[in-house]
């Protein structure tokens, strides 16, 4: 372990700008007061300057302690200290000759250093206050320096202070921009690390999915052969064996479907656009699904709009996207109901909707509907809707959903008629 030097603790205290400013102001004021103490005073204006410097130093140390203990009240503390400093310098000028005192020079570091922290406007107000206090001291303890002298002092106090304030503001803005840039750079680096890890996990899982396909096929084939053997024999044991074989094949089919869906998601193919009929696609898909709906006791409706024009689409991908929505509708209608696939022309767009009369989508599911791998089905992959949305976005379209007023859910695909080809 590296041994820390004793002065490291001091440097830690001076890390914040406010503490640096407190030290800077203390050095300027205490040092200025001590320096002016070398100028001899007239006997009637003599003060115990050594004690004054010591007490002033303790006062500045107290300001530093307050800033350290109460960092949220820093600005109020410094504003209060500024007012006290102006009054102390005024009293010091009044006690050491008024208009003839050299201690008015303490206004210069006081105004300039505060301008660094507070900016040009406070610097301007402080310069006016310093000039007014100097005028009051000269009026109470002649000689009177005249309004011209007061005006010159205000200009001499204020002009360099305002410039310091402007420069300090610009420096703070530039530093804030640099810090913001560094924070964004750090965040981007962290995101890059996460992305690289996710890419590695994705490549690994894709390889695993590829490798799993062969054993799945072998298990499915062997289960089928075993089923043939079992069916050729009779007996109570064979009945139980046939049930077990059927269960094995069902689970294998589920695993096979999951693997295929994941591979389709991970290796999303590049779309190949050709001019096709949306209505024909919808009607053919409905004819393909109708036998499944009939076995479930469902009613299927198809409504196509003759005004729907020919469009440039990837027929296979768009069919897959609509089929995924239809499958969700069929699963939502496991207890009976109606499923409707419709198309309609809307100016420069075409809509394809899949609606059902099921229970609809609850609020606990709605927020995660398109989230990858999120599913409410025991055997679901959570990729169907993600794949559908990916396909629709590849067609420069949008996929939206809504609960129907009469019950059930509706998914709507909106495709622009003149969509730009995917690059």
pLDDT tens for each residue of 6-32: 444 444 444 455 666 666 666 766 666
- Nearest-CA neighbor of 232 among 245, 217, 220, 247? 245
Q: Reply yes or no on whether the pLDDT at 170 is more than 80.
A: yes
What pLDDT is attached to residue 283? 92
Kindly report the average pLDDT of the chain as a whole number.
Answer: 77
Predicted confidence band of residue 422 (pLDDT cuts 50, 70, 90): very low
- DSSP secondary structure string for all residues of 28-43: HHHHHHHHHTTSPPPG
Q: What is the pLDDT of residues 189-239, one digit of tens each?
A: 777 776 666 656 566 665 666 566 667 777 777 777 777 777 777 777 777
Two structure tokens written together for 379: 């055997």
**CA 242 – CA 226 distance, rounded (Å):** 9
Q: Which has more pLDDT, 95 or 4?
A: 95
d(CA 274, CA 101): 94
DSSP conformation class of 98: G
Kindly indicate the confidence band of residue 343, based on its pLDDT and cuts at 50, 70 and 90. Answer: very high
Average pLDDT over residues 250-266: 68
Question: Is there a cis peptide before residue 143, judged by omega within 30 degrees of 0?
Answer: yes
Please tell me the distance from the alpha carbon of residue 184 to that of residue 176, in angstroms, as a whole number: 12
| Phi/psi at 101 (5° precision) | -80, 145
Percent of the chain having pLDDT more than 90? 6
Specify the pairing of strand 299-303 against strand 338-346.
parallel
Q: What is the pLDDT of residues 98-138, one digit of tens each?
A: 787 777 888 888 787 788 778 888 888 888 888 888 888 88
Give just the sign of the alpha carbon dihedral 231, 233, 239, 242.
negative
User: Which tokens is 262 given?
Assistant: 């994941």
| Distant-in-sequence, close-in-space partners of 26: CB < 8 Å, separation ≥ 6 | 57, 60, 61, 63, 64
Query: Which two structure tokens, joined as six digits, stand for 287?
Result: 């004819």
How far apart (Å, rounded) are the C-alpha atoms in residues 331 and 336? Answer: 10
Q: What is the pLDDT of residues 350-401, one digit of tens each?
A: 999 998 888 887 777 766 676 666 566 655 556 678 788 888 888 889 888 8
Nearest to 163 by CA among 109, 113, 120, 106: 120
Select from 278, 287, 403, 283 the least CA-distant residue to 351: 278
* Band of pLDDT at residue 281, cut at 50, 70 and 90: very high
- 316-333 pLDDT per residue, tens: 889 888 988 888 888 878
Is pLDDT above 60 for 49? yes
At 1 the pLDDT is 44
pTM of the model: 0.44
């Amino acid at each position: 372990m590296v041994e820390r030097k004793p002065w490291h603790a001091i440097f830690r205290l001076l890390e914040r700008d406010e503490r640096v400013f407190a030290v800077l102001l203390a050095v300027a004021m205490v040092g200025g007061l001590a320096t002016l103490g070398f100028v001899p005073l007239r006997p009637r204006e003599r003060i115990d300057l050594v004690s004054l410097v010591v007490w002033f130093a303790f006062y500045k140390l107290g300001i530093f302690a307050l800033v350290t203990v109460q960092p949220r009240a820093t600005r109020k503390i410094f504003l209060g200290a500024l007012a006290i400093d102006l009054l102390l310098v005024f009293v010091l000028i009044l006690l050491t000759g008024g208009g003839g005192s050299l201690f008015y020079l303490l206004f210069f570091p006081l105004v300039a250093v505060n301008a660094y922290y507070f900016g040009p406007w406070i610097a301007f107000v402080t310069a006016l206050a310093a000039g007014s206090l100097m005028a009051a001291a000269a009026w109470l303890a002649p000689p009177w320096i005249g309004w011209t002298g007061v005006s010159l002092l205000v200009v001499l106090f204020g002009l360099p202070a305002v410039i310091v304030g402007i420069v300090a503001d610009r420096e703070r803005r530039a530093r804030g921009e640099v810090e913001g840039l560094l924070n964004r750079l750090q965040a981007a680096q962290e995101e890059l690390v996460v992305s690289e890890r996710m890419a590695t996990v994705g490549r690994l899982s894709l390889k695993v999915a590829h490798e799993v396909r062969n054993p799945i096929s072998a298990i499915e084939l062997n289960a089928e052969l075993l089923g043939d053997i079992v069916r050729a024999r009779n007996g109570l044991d064979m009945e139980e064996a046939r049930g077990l074989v059927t269960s094995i094949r069902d689970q294998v089919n589920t695993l096979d479907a999951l693997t295929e869906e994941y591979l389709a998601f991970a290796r999303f193919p590049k779309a190949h656009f050709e001019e096709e009929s949306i209505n024909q696609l919808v009607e053919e898909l409905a004819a393909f699904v109708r036998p499944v709906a009939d076995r479930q006791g469902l009613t299927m409706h198809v409504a196509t709009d003759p005004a729907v024009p020919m469009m440039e689409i990837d027929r296979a991908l768009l069919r897959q996207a609509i089929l995924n929505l239809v499958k969700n509708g069929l699963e939502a209608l496991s207890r009976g109901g109606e499923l409707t696939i419709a198309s309609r022309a809307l100016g420069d767009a075409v809509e394809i909707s899949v609606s059902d009369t099921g229970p609809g989508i609850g609020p606990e599911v709605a927020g995660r509907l398109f989230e990858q791998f999120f599913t409410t089905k025991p055997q679901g992959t959570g990729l169907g809707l993600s794949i559908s949305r990916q396909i629709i976005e590849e067609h420069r379209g949008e996929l939206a959903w809504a609960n129907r007023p009469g019950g059930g859910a509706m998914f709507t695909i909106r495709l622009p008629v003149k969509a730009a080809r995917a690059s």
